[in-house]
Amino acid sequence: MTTFVHTSDWHLGFFQYNKNLRHDDFFAAANRIVDKIIKIEPDFVLHTGDLFHHKSPTPGSVLQALKLLNKLTKKKIPVFIIRGNHDAYTTRNLQYGGTALQLLNEATGLNYINDDVMNFNDVDIIGVGHYFSGRANETLQRINQEKRPFDDRSNFKILAIHNFIEGQISDTSEVSLSLIQDLAPDYVAAGHFHIPWKREKLNIFVPGSSESTSANDWNREDNLNGNITLYSSFYEVKLENHNGWSKEVIQHRIPVRPKFKLEISSESIDHLEIKSQISEEINQVKKFAFSTIVEEFNYNSDKKPVRTAFEQPLVRIRLDAKNLPQTNQHLISTQELESELGLLNLEISFDDSFESDFPITQGEHVVVEDLLQELIEESEIDDKPHLTQLVHQTIDYFGQKAKSTTLGLDDLNHFLRIQDESWKLGSTPKIMKYTEDEPPKENLNASSSNPNKKASAESSKSSRKRNQQWEDLFE
C-alpha cells in the first residue's frame, strides 16, 4: 500500500488585516498540518501551490517554510510541490528559475515539479503550475503530447494543478473538465480554490487553504450552524493495486482561528442598545466556538497559546438597524467593539456589501500594482519598458485606491490592450474609475517664498495635468 497526503495553499508570510497574529496564524495552521502528517506517516506529501503568499517572500517566510519542510525531512517524508500564482511570476519563473521554490528545491531536497512529470515508486505526478488565460490547459496538453505520461496505465497517475477548475467559479483561466476527462488521471490534486471541493466521479479533490485569506474562504460545508468557521483541511490518500488501482480518500481537519458571519437585526434607534445587542450575540458565539475547539481537539483551555489562537475570532456582521439614523452609524465603532470583546478583527456592514465578495481575486483586496505587474510578466509584448511605464502611470492615476473591489483581472487585461505602436487604449474598458474631488489648487504665489511648498505645488500641478491626460483616454 502507498499513502500520500495532499495539502495546498499555506500562504506563509501573509499579514492579513496588518495583524501580526494573523501572520502567526498562517504558520501555525501549516505547522498543525505538518504535525498531523508526521503522525500519519505517509510515503510522500503533495503540495499543490501557494506555499507563500508573496511572490518575493521575505527571509522570515522562507525560514518558516524551512522549519516546516525540515520537520518532514527528518521523518524521511519527501515533499513534491507545484507553483501557485502567489509563488512566482510565471514568465520570470520559466525563463530564469529564480524563485523561492527553486531555492528550497536546491537547499532542502523539496521536489519542485515545474511543468513536468516526476515519479515516486509506482506513482507518476504530472505537475502544472499556475497560468492565466487558458495557458494551463495549453501547457497540460503540451506535456501530454511530448511525454505521453497517461499512456502507460500501470502506474497510479496524479495530475497536480493550481488553477480554478471549470464549475468552481467563472474564470478565464479555469482548467477544462473535458480535458481532465480525456486524460483520465487516477487523482486530480488541485489547489487555488480555498474551500474544500471535490468531484469524485472525475477523481478531483481540492483540500482548500490551510487558513483563510478572505471571507470567501469562510463558506465551508462543515461550518457550525452555517456561519461559524473553525477548520481547515487536507487529504490522506491510500492506494492499493490489485489488478487495478483503487484509492481511499480521507479528509482530516485541523482547528484554525474562529471566524463568524453574523446577521443582526435591531429595531432600536439608540446606538448604545444596538452595541449591547451586538456584544451579547458575539460573546455567545465566542463561547460556543472556543468550547467546541477545546473539546474536539482535547486542548487545555487554560493555556495562553490556546486562548490566543482560538479565543480572539474574526467577525463580520451584517447589521440591519433601519431605525438608526444614518448619521449615527459611525457611533457603532468597530475598534471599540474589537477591544471590548477581545476580537482580532471586526467588520460591520449596514448594507449588502458583504453578500458577494470579489470572485476574480477570491475576495482578497489585491493592490492594482500587483495585478498589473502580473500582466507585464504574462505579456507577450517585447517592449516591456514602455508597458512598465504605462503601468506606473496607471498606478499614479488610480492612486493605488482601485483594488479588487472595483477592478477584475479581465478589466485590467482590457485596460492594457495596446493597438499597434500608439500605446493607446483599444476601446473603452469596463473599469470603475477611482474618482475624488480634485483637491483645491495651490496658491502658487503664496508658496513661492517657501521652496518646499513651491515644489509641492509644482508636483500637484504636474499630477493634475497627467490625470487630465488619462481622463482624455476615457472619453
Contact predicate 166/194, CB 8 Å: no
Q: How many CB atoms lie within 10 A of CB 264?
A: 16
Q: How far apart are CA 33 and CA 293, in angstroms?
A: 16
More confident position, 295 or 398: 295
C-alpha cell at 100: 523561492
Among 106, 101, 104, smallest CA distance to 127 is for: 101
- Alpha-carbon distances, residue 263 vs 171, 286, 317, 321, 352 (angstroms): 30, 15, 6, 11, 11
Alpha carbon of 232 to those of 194, 204, 243, 285, 444: distances in Å? Answer: 9, 18, 35, 19, 58
Q: Does residue 404 or residue 12 have the better pLDDT?
A: 12
Is the pLDDT score of 413 beyond 70?
A: no
Strands 44-47 and 197-199, sheet pairing: unpaired
Average pLDDT of the residues in 145-152: 91
- pLDDT at residue 299 in the model: 94
H or E stretch covering 14: none
Nearest-angstrom CA–CA distance, 240 and 253:
24
- pLDDT for 100 equals 87
DSSP structure class, residue 52: B
Q: What is the largest CA-CA distance in the chain?
A: 90
The predicted pLDDT at position 117 comes to 95
Query: Alpha-carbon Rg of the chain, whole angstroms?
Result: 25
Q: Indicate whether 359 pLDDT > 50.
A: no
| The pLDDT of residue 380 | 53
Q: In which band, very low, low, confident or very high, does the pLDDT at 374 lie, cut at 50, 70 and 90?
A: low
CB 11 within 8 A of CB 211: yes
- Cα 366 to Cα 398: distance, rounded to the nearest angstrom: 14
3-class state of residue 420 by DSSP: coil
Q: For 249, how many CA atoms within 13 A lie in the half-sphere containing its CB?
A: 20
pLDDT-based confidence at residue 135 (cuts at 50, 70, 90):
confident
370 pLDDT higher than 60: no
Mean pLDDT of 298-309: 92
Structure confidence at residue 388 (pLDDT): 58
Confidence of residue 171 (pLDDT cuts 50, 70, 90): low
- Whether the per-residue pLDDT at 464 is higher than 50: the answer is no
Q: CA 283 to CA 311: how far, in whole Å?
A: 10
Query: At 410, is the secondary structure helix, strand, or coil?
Result: helix
Give the CA distances from residue 443 to residues 28, 292, 432, 456, in Å, rounded to whole numbers and listed in that order. 54, 63, 32, 11
Considering the entire predicted model, what is its pTM? 0.76
351 vs 109: which has the higher pLDDT: 109
Give the residue-averaged pLDDT of 348-359: 60
Beta-bridge partner residues of 45: 5, 79
- Phi first, then psi, for residue 233 (nearest 5°) are -140, 160
pLDDT bucket at 310, cuts 50 / 70 / 90: very high
Let me know: does 72 contact 42? Beta carbons within 8 Å.
no
Partnered with residue 348 across adjacent β-strands are: 317
CA angle, 414 then 417 then 419, to 5°: 145
Q: Which three cell numbers stand for residue 30?
A: 501549516
What is the per-residue pLDDT for 456? 47
Tell me the average pLDDT across 277-298: 96
The amino acid at 15? F
Share of the chain above pLDDT 90, in %: 58
Q: What is the pLDDT of residues 31-77, one digit of tens each?
A: 999 999 999 999 999 999 999 998 889 999 999 999 999 999 999 99
**Average pLDDT of the chain, as a whole number:** 79
Which of these, 356, 289, 346, lies nearest to 317 by C-alpha position? 346
Q: Are 14 and 22 in contact (CB under 8 A)?
A: yes
Q: What are phi and psi of 394, to 5 degrees?
A: -65, -45
d(CA 235, CA 37): 10
Residue pLDDT, tens place only, 317-341: 999 998 999 888 889 989 999 999 9
Mean pLDDT of 361-384: 51
The span from the CA of 325 to the CA of 135, in Å, is 51
pLDDT of residue 358: 36
- Once rounded to an integer, what is the mean pLDDT over residues 210-239? 94
Listed range (38-42, 154-158, 225-229, 351-355) with the worst mean pLDDT: 351-355
Over residues 180-203, mean pLDDT: 94
Q: What is the pLDDT of residue 93?
A: 57
CATH numbers and ranges of domains, the chain: 2-213+231-256 (3.60.21.10), 259-357 (no CATH), 361-474 (no CATH)
Burial of 373 (0-12, 13-18, 19+ CB in 10 A): middle
- Predicted confidence at residue 157, as pLDDT, reads 97
Nearby residues of 59 by Cβ (< 8 Å), 6 or more positions away: none
Distance from C-alpha of 367 to C-alpha of 365, rounded to nearest angstrom: 6
Distance of CA 213 to the CA centre of its chain: 5
Write the pLDDT tens digit of every residue in 84-125: 988 886 655 556 656 889 889 988 889 999 899 999 999 999
Mean pLDDT of 149-162: 94
91 close to 378: Cβ distance less than 8 angstroms: yes
